[in-house]
Structure 1
Amino acid sequence: MYLTSINNFRAIAIIMIVMGHSFSFAGMTFQTWPEKFAGNLISGATTLFVFISGFLFFHVFYARFDYKNFLLGKFKNVAAPYLVLSVLPIIWSMTSGEPQKPFFNPAGPGVLDTWIVPYVKYVLTGGFATAYWYIPFIMLVFLMAPAHVAFIRLSTARQLGITAVLVVVAALVQRSHGNLNPVQHLIAFTPAYLFGITVAMNKEAVWARLAGKEWHLALLVAAFDAAEIATGHFSNYHKAPFAWGGLDLMLFQKLFMCLLLLQLLHRFEGRSSKTLSLVASTSFAIFFIHPGLLKLIHTIRDANGIRFDASWPVLLLATTGILAVAILIAVGVNIVLGKKSRYVIGYAGKAPGLLHAPSDLRPA
């Protein structure tokens, strides 16, 4: 069964991710309480992406799950474009002379220590570009697919119990410093993935139980957002895995946002938006392309001495422009390479008719 609501959910998630990564370009400083509140709602949208991934694991892959074919598909559609698109940014990071995190500094003068080890570190962490840390992490999630299959075969009560425990663990562990630890991210985001699986398995009951309760969910989202601000935090939580950093309130906010968006979008299950369908069908290409576009507009802005002072209109304009250009690039590459474009940019739609339903939202 094709779900328009999940298609739209995916589009909203990638829009929020691009907008969150555009904060710096627009000079957002988030000094006032309303600005912090709005910034917190936009930040942390990766959790939405992970929730959707878990939802689709059950909805699309579980019925005909084959571990070998599943991993092969993920390597072709996720790891391959990551490895292709990482080559130039990694070489640039290693040769440009721009300051890099000490983790990537050469350990010695030889070829191994100067080139090979740093290159491998960049590949394993995604530390060479904004957002690319997600790929090493999500590949670990895909490797754990047999555990997720075992999770699906448990009772709902056990699923909820395991997820609840892991949510607490994730809220304590949080994201890694500099987004350089895929294993820490596996701990931090697995509950969202399992939550997506559980909701997908019980979607009809969830929709029925939460019908008319959107305001309750919105209040919970707002409450955790406000609580984060009140405790002196803003945006995502990052720390060493075993250091004390309080509870990651952003995680709770985004899990309730998942339910809120799921419920709101389900109201319009029978309707489709050409714009959202276009964004959703190219969402993974947008993910891969937007860091490079951000780097480009940052360079242009800095070269011309332009600075923006916490400009929301500039943020909206930058987000819209990046999305539009990324989609155009995805379409162009797809026209040139055809189906092989999925190995380069993670997208292989039907190039002039982009408004088809993405195949990964249909049961296999």
Structure 2
Amino acid sequence: MRLIVFDYFRAIAILSIVAGHCISYKSITSFDERVIANLIQGGSPLFVFISGFFFHHIFYRQFQYSQFMLKKVKNVLLPYVFLSLLALIYYLSSGISLPDAKELGITSLANWQDYLSMIGLYLWTGRTSFAYWYIPFIMLIFLMSPLFISYIRQGVRIRLLIFIIALVLAMIVHRPAGNLSPWHAVMYFLPMYLLGILVSMHREPVQRYLHNKAFILGVTVVFLAILQALIYLGFGNLHKLHPFTFDGLDILILQKIVLCFFFLSLLEKLSEHYPQIPLLRLLADASFAIYFIHPWVLIALVEYKWLPNVENMSGLHQFIITFPLTILISMTLAYVIKRCAGQYSRSLTGW
């Protein structure tokens, strides 16, 4: 059965991801701006939570590992490889420096072995784009599916204990520096995936508990964003190179857990009164295509200065303009590709 709440949630999640990328382009310095940035950045945990929810809700009861992975390769990995290779061809043919080449240890491309090694590094890390790190990470999560099947079959206390341990670990390890390590990302995002599974397993009592709790949950989200701004001088996601060196506790993941419950509470009520919001349904259906396309739209608008005078705007002013434009252009491109490519569009953009 299709869940309208999670259709709306997917739409909110992709909006959150694009918004987080849009706000990261300009310097954010003041306390107020850092609080707002803490609220906006870090949309990926919402997607991971949704993925964990649907792993149990859709796939668990008749789970077949080979069919599950085949579907993920076709619908997730294939468009990722296609678009990543397209990006590498563009970088190499245009003379633009390869992104993060130094961090990846790419010093020269003298022979075909160097090119193969370079392609392998970019596909492993997703660094052809600032957003594509998610695919190597989530494919590792999918490969670990038998472990999640075992997790689901444990008793409630064991499941909660594993979740708590995973959450504490995530708060210590932070996100990987430059999002260059998929395994480090697995350690950080694992509790969000487990939480999605837990919410699916106990959806009715969770729904009852969250009923009319949107206000208090929203206040808690804002409080955690303010707390992070008070403790850390930066904003948004915390990153580090070595996962087991202690550099404070990650507050953002706690905020995003509460934010997931806030959206579940809010969207449950919204779906009761408005079960068919075409824009949200469209954004949900096209969410993966928007995810794949939006980095290139944002780069064109800001880095290539297709948007006049964008470099002279303040961080928040730039965000107010680039965010809706990026969504609109990405959605339009996704729709055009879908209409032109027909049944092949899902292999190209995920939609």
Q: Distance in 2 between matches of 1:345 and 1:13?
A: 18
* CA RMSD, Structure 1 to Structure 2 (Å): 1.9
Residue number in structure 1 paired with 2:117: 117
Residue number in structure 1 paired with 2:61: 63
Q: Distance in 2 between matches of 1:73 and 1:244?
A: 38
Query: What secondary structure, in the 3-state scheme, does the structure 2 residue paired with 1:256 have?
Result: helix
How far did residue 110 of structure 1 move? 4.2
Letter in 1 for 2:253: L
Q: Distance in 2 between matches of 1:306 and 1:313?
A: 9
Q: Deviations over 1:16-49 (max 9, x none)?
A: 1111111255x3x322222111111110010001
Does 2:70 correspond to 1:72? yes
Equivalent residue for 1:281, pick from 253, 271, 285: 285
Residue number in structure 1 paired with 2:246: 244
Q: Distance in 2 between matches of 1:305 and 1:323?
A: 20
Letter in 2 for 1:66: Q
Query: What secondary structure, in the 3-state scheme, does the structure 2 residue paired with 1:149 have?
Result: helix
- Tell me if the contact between 2:37 and 2:236 (Cα under 8 Å) persists in the aligned partners: yes
- Tell me if the contact between 1:3 and 1:269 (Cα under 8 Å) persists in the aligned partners: no
Letter in 2 for 1:187: M
Label 1:48 to 1:306 Cα distance change in 2 as closer, same or farther (>3 A).
Answer: closer
Q: Which moved more, 1:294-303 or 1:84-93?
A: 294-303
Residue number in structure 1 paired with 2:225: 225
Residue number in structure 1 paired with 2:312: 308
Residue number in structure 2 paired with 1:329: 333
Compute the TM-score of the two structures, normalised by the length of structure 2.
0.93
Letter in 2 for 1:235: G
Q: Distance in 2 between matches of 1:141 and 1:313?
A: 37
Residue number in structure 2 paired with 1:47: 45
Residue number in structure 2 paired with 1:167: 167
How far did residue 113 of structure 1 move? 5.1
Q: Distance in 1 between matches of 2:299 and 2:108?
A: 30
Q: Distance in 1 between matches of 2:171 and 2:255?
A: 11
How far did residue 230 of structure 1 move? 1.0
Equivalent residue for 1:258, pick from 252, 257, 260: 260
Letter in 2 for 1:239: K
Q: Deviations over 1:152-178 (max 9, x none)?
A: 112222211110110000111111111
Letter in 1 for 2:88: I
For structure 1, which runs of at least 5 residues remain unmatched after alignment? 348-364
Letter in 1 for 2:350: G
Q: Distance in 2 between matches of 1:202 and 1:104?
A: 42
Query: What secondary structure, in the 3-state scheme, does the structure 1 residue paired with 2:60 have?
Result: helix
Q: Distance in 1 between matches of 2:24 and 2:36?
A: 15
Equivalent residue for 2:301, pick from 297, 301, 310: 297
Label 1:166 to 1:331 Cα distance change in 2 as closer, same or farther (>3 A).
Answer: same
How far did residue 75 of structure 1 move? 0.2
Letter in 2 for 1:85: L
Query: What secondary structure, in the 3-state scheme, does the structure 1 residue paired with 2:305 have?
Result: helix
Equivalenced residue count is 345
Residue number in structure 2 paired with 1:82: 80
Q: Deviations over 1:218-268 (max 9, x none)?
A: 232222212211112411010021222111110111011111111111112
Letter in 2 for 1:193: Y
Does 2:18 correspond to 1:14? no
Q: Deviations over 1:153-212 (max 9, x none)?
A: 122222111101100001111111111000000110011000001001111101112223
Letter in 2 for 1:39: A
Letter in 2 for 1:170: A
Q: Distance in 2 between matches of 1:258 and 1:311?
A: 26
Residue number in structure 2 paired with 1:98: 97
Q: Which moved more, 1:294-303 or 1:15-24?
A: 294-303
Letter in 2 for 1:256: V
Compute the TM-score of the two structures, normalised by the length of structure 1.
0.89
Label 1:304 to 1:145 Cα distance change in 2 as closer, same or farther (>3 A).
Answer: same
How far did residue 2 of structure 1 move? 1.6
Q: Distance in 1 between matches of 2:305 and 2:226?
A: 33
